Structure 1
Amino acid sequence: MAMFVHLTSAANAPRVRRSGIRAVSHGQGGVRGVFCFPVLPSYTLTHQWLRELARSGSRGGLVAVQVRLDDGQDVLVGRYGDRARGAQAAVTAVEAVRRIGALEDPRGWEVFVPRAIGPREVHRIRTAPQVAGWRYWPDAHGVRPCTCLGCRVRGEYGSRRLRERLPHPLDGPPPPVKVLLARVAAAGDPGDPAALREALHWFGMRRRGPLAQLARLAGHPDPGVRENLVWAVGRWSTPGVAELLESLADDPHPDVREAVETVRSDP
């Protein structure tokens, strides 16, 4: 039997003991399953994903769930970047342990089980120190952190101070609302498309905003401005967003209609 470790929030421990690990993660090809890592002689390498997973937040910290899988269980194995490229290898569980154990540097590797883990396969659950492992990516220590929208985690400890200290030229922090509204007004009527798209880019980083002052852009002759308006305000909690999206749902340009459909379908 091959032994693996799955890291999860401590709040999930009672449910894991009772009914196992649910297949909620999406692996290569969109398959649902469970991410884990082989138990290696090195404690640090076995729990290397702790600090990175903790960045996304967890109630009560993370716990290590040790699971036993049949040696012939089909799994996917590869480095974290291989998943997006569809380059993870389909092997058996015992072969995944052998491959990772033979690596000179197994940091950043992962195993994906394309199914749920049953309660009888759970060997034990124990607490784990929250300081083991790497953050962002292996060897990231000493590298200037990136504050772009794709890299930062909303609500992460110290993220606001980091963005203020190392502002990204495209991803914030956004200028104040008054400054952005002044830029929209200075763009004219109907307005310079490039200036309006830039202002809408910054508005899109907010959770609420001055919808009444931006609603007129729904009639702008440039379809790029109308599309950017959808992306900027589509996820706002400001009253009136649903009505604005409804008015743009039948826009003559397909890119605008697709943007409306996308923001409506996102949770």
Structure 2
Amino acid sequence: MAMFVHLTSAHAAPRIRRTGVRAVSDGQGGARGVYCFPVLPSYTLTHQWLRELGRFGSRGGLAAVHVRLDDAERVLVGRYTDRARGGQDTVSAAEAVRRISGLADPRGWEVFVPRAIRPREVHRVRAAPQVVGWRYLPDAHGTRPCTCYGCRVRGGYGARRLRERLPHPLDGPPPPVRVLLARVDAAGDPGDPVALREALHWFGMRRRGPLDRLARLSTHPDPGVREDLVWAVSGWTTPGVTDLLSPLADDPHQDVREAVEAVEAVRDGV
């Protein structure tokens, strides 16, 4: 039996003990499953993803879920950079452990199980202090940080000063709310999809927003607008976000439903 560790929110630990780990992460080729890493002799290498995952916040900290898989279980293995170009290999769980343990530098490697983890496969769940691992990417220390929306950390130490010193040409700062609302109103009713999606892009960079003014977009005829609305409000702390997203979980378009499912999974800490 091959032993792996899956890192997740400590808030999800009781549910994982009862029902296992849900297959909600997107892998190579759009497959749904669970990311994990072999348990190596080095604690630091085994838990190398801790600080990177910790950048995105988690309820109650992070937990390490130790998982036992049959040696013949088919999994995907490779560096995280191979995922986008389809370069990860499908191998047995035992072969994935052999490959990674034999590397001189396994930082940035990952194993993807293309299914849910059953309760009987969960060996143990324990707290995982966020004191080891790399951030952003291996060997990032000493390189110029990126301030694009995907890389920057909201509320991180020195984050505002970093964005002011190294402004990104495409990702900010977002226009004021009144300007964005004027663009939404100018787009018409139901509204030009291009103009609305551009405004929603900027709204998604805010912590709060005028939910009541954007709620009508949940019934926009363009599914791209409805999907972008989901992503725009997903990180808001404005009351009513859940009520807005709930009907979209049954949207007729698959992309909108999957966006709501992904947002709910993040909120559940999986």
TM-score (norm. length: structure 2): 0.73
In structure 1, which of residues 211, 232, 237 is the aligned counterpart of residue 199 of structure 2?
232
Q: 1:171 to 1:92 in 2, by over 3 A?
A: same
Q: Which amino acid aligns with 2:160?
A: R
Q: Indicate the residue corresponding to 1:76 in structure 2.
A: 76
* Alpha-carbon distance in 1 for matches of 2:187, 2:12: 45
Partner of 1:193: none
CA distance 1:123–1:213, shift in 2 (3 Å): closer
The reply on whether 1:209 has 2:182 as its aligned counterpart is no
Pairwise CA distance, 1:159? 2.9
Aligned partners of 2:22, 2:141: CA distance in 1, in Å?
A: 33
| Aligned counterpart for 2:214 among listed residues 208, 233, 241 | 241
Aligned to 1:263: 228
State the alpha-carbon separation in 2 of the partners of residues 233 and 119 from structure 1: 40
Aligned to 1:21: 21
Deviation, structure 1 residue 155: 4.6
Q: What's the counterpart of residue 67 of structure 1?
A: 67
Q: Measure the CA separation in 1 of the matches of 2:129 and 2:153.
A: 22
Counterpart secondary structure, 1:209: helix
Q: 1:11 to 1:243 in 2, by over 3 A?
A: closer
- Aligned partners of 1:128, 1:258: CA distance in 2, in Å? 40
Q: For structure 2, which runs of at least 5 residues remain unmatched after alignment?
A: 204-208, 230-255, 261-270
Q: What secondary structure, in the 3-state scheme, does the structure 1 residue paired with 2:171 have?
A: coil
SS at match of 1:84: coil
Aligned 8 A contact 2:193 2:225 in 1: no
Alpha-carbon distance between aligned partners in 2 of 1:32 and 1:216, rounded to the nearest angstrom:
38
Whichever residue aligns with residue 183 of structure 2, its letter is: L
Larger radius of gyration: 1
Structure 2 CA distance for partners of 1:13 and 1:218, relative to 1, 3 Å: closer
Shift of 1:212: 5.7
Q: Secondary structure at the match of 2:84?
A: helix
Quick one: structure 1 residues 163 and 34, their matched pair in 2 at CA, closer, same or farther if it must change by over 3 Å?
same
The question of 1:102 aligning with 2:102 is answered: yes
How much does 1:226 deviate? 7.0
Query: Are the structure 2 counterparts of residues 137 and 240 from structure 1 closer, same or farther at C-alpha, using a change threshold of 3 Å?
Result: same
Q: In 2, Cα distance between the equivalents of 1:226 and 1:68? A: 47
Q: Is the 8 A contact 1:57 1:156 kept in 2?
A: no
Structure with more contact order per residue of length (Cα contacts < 8 Å, sep ≥ 6): 2
- 1:173–1:2 CA distance, 2 compared to 1 (3 A): same
Superposition deviation, residue 162 in structure 1: 2.6
Question: Percent identity at matched positions?
Answer: 67
Calculate the TM-score normalised by the size of structure 1. Answer: 0.74
Measured after TM superposition, the shift of residue 49 of structure 1 is 0.3
Q: Residues 73-122 of structure 1, C-alpha deviation per residue, up to 9 Å, x if partnerless?
A: 00000000111111110000000000001111100000001111111111
Instruction: Tell whether the 8 Å contact from 1:148 to 1:170 is kept in structure 2 after alignment.
Output: yes
Cα 1:240–1:114 change in 2 (3 A) is: same
Contact 2:66/2:123, CA 8 A, preserved across alignment? yes
- Partner residue in 2 for 1:195: none
- In 1, are the aligned partners of 2:50 and 2:133 still within 8 Å (CA)? yes
Alignment partner of 1:105: what SS?
coil
Q: Which amino acid aligns with 1:74?
A: R
The CA deviation string for residues 155-182 of structure 1, in whole angstroms up to 9 with x for no partner, is 545433332232223322246x3xxxxx
Partners of 1:226 and 1:117 in 2: CA distance = 40
Q: Work out the number of aligned pairs and report it.
A: 224
Task: State whether structure 2 residue 57 is matched by structure 1 residue 57.
Answer: yes
Q: Alignment RMSD, CA only?
A: 2.7
Offset of 1:125 from its aligned partner?
Answer: 1.6
Contact 2:184 2:199 in 1 (8 A): no
Contact 1:74 1:113 in 2 (8 A): yes
* Unaligned residue ranges in structure 1 (runs of 5+): 178-207, 220-224, 250-256
Indicate if the aligned counterparts of 2:22 and 2:117 stay in contact, CA closer than 8 A. Answer: yes
Whether 1:169 and 2:169 are equivalent positions in the alignment is yes
**Which residue of 2 is the match for residue 194 of structure 1?**
none
